[in-house]
Structure 1
Amino acid sequence: MFDLDFATETLETLAVASGGNFCLSRSDLFVSGSDRDNIDRDIYPALEASVLFERVFLLGPVVDIRWQYGELSFSLLNSARRDETILGEAISLNDSSVRLGFTFCEYAVFFLSKTEKALEDINYVPATESYSDRLKELKERRVIDKDTDTLLRQLKQTRDNFAHSFTPLKKLRYLGEELESSGQFVKDLFMASKALEQEFIKRQHLQVNWGLFSLVLKAIRLTRSEAASK
């Protein structure tokens, strides 16, 4: 069970992440705002029908919504959230925290690179570009600065070793040092995540077809209303 305000905060995230293209009241959606199953029941089919990417991060003031390969999850954040990253907590040297940091950085670079070009050219194929090409393009467009570009390139080797080796996380190396003895790795991953997050939030509404999302939710609401009246 979540706090009764969870449903309201979830709706706030959807409103913020949609860039104002989605707006429903809590009573429109949820029979019981504290019941997680009710929230999943309504939002899951709407996102399943309307997401435009295999991974989607919808970032809000208190609740983050994450969609990855058909799985829906929520992150309830504390009041200090915007001094941190999309993790909802400071990055720490453990597998889940580092994996989420790397996943977000990789997705954000892809997303920020793809969206502008896809809007300009319907024949654009993002699979033809390397990670390095995308960073170069983002720097040239001033989406990221030189320092962020450098951090992301430095982090890439450690990310690849993390994903493709059996070496324990703390024994991996970053700038020549093992992670367990290098405080620089956590600081750099945090800075890179934060820089990308700031640009990502400006464009996050482009991850979802919000017209279709709203249409599915309205259909769910109508079906529930009809069932209740019988």
Structure 2
Amino acid sequence: MHVADNTFLVTGAASGLGSAVARRLIDKGAKVVLCDLSEDVEGLSTSLGGSALACRGDITSAAQMTAIFERAAVFAGEAGLAGVVHCAGVVSVGKLLDRDGNPTNLDAYAKTIDINLVGTFNVMRLAAAAMAGRAPGEEGERGVIINTASIAAFDGQVGQCAYSASKAGVVGMSLPAARELSRYGIRVMAIAPGVFETPMMAQIPSEAAQALAASIPFPKRLGRADEFALLAEQIITNPMLNGEVIRLDGGIRMQ
């Protein structure tokens, strides 16, 4: 699939990984629907010009996301939506027991699962429906869905039960979804980023960030958002990438 002259929807587009993906796709000649809860998505859309359409919405809401995909269909025109890069999500930290031995709040766990896993499923099901009716390309391809997992799905640390479980669920959906949607010519992939320079990472102390960077075999630095965007572009353009999760982490293995 070519990036140029196609339309893609990017969630979590107002900042971080999603913003980098949106900018890269537009630089390569695509139109992009920018989906985010934050009002910052409006400013980003303005800066990117007529190739971008801002849509504010909650990825866990069936009604809101259905409306956004309907707007995306109009924006894409007759060619239809070619792909979705789903970057929206939250990072959560919470131990099973607090210092006094009390159990953690169940609602906090459920919220993380709802946003990171149920939200991903919601976007994926609507993306599949939007792309299934597109005219196929030369090899029968109609679209591509790229979800965002995390190395925490494999190397979860203390306090990451909710986050690791939510991202492990994203990993677990990749292959069965790819198998199911193969009949429509829709590929499904996931990227599992390591430690990246994003607004979420900026919330932790600088010493902790430096320690994480030092633990990466090579390169010994935090990942850059555009490196994530580059991989998303490569997945879009390489038809043999399907049903797989790619770690993008510089070789780090968390402990």
| TM-score over 0.5 for the pair | no
More strand by share: 2
TM-score between both structures, scaled by the size of structure 1: 0.30
Normalised to the residue count of structure 2, the TM-score between the two structures is: 0.28
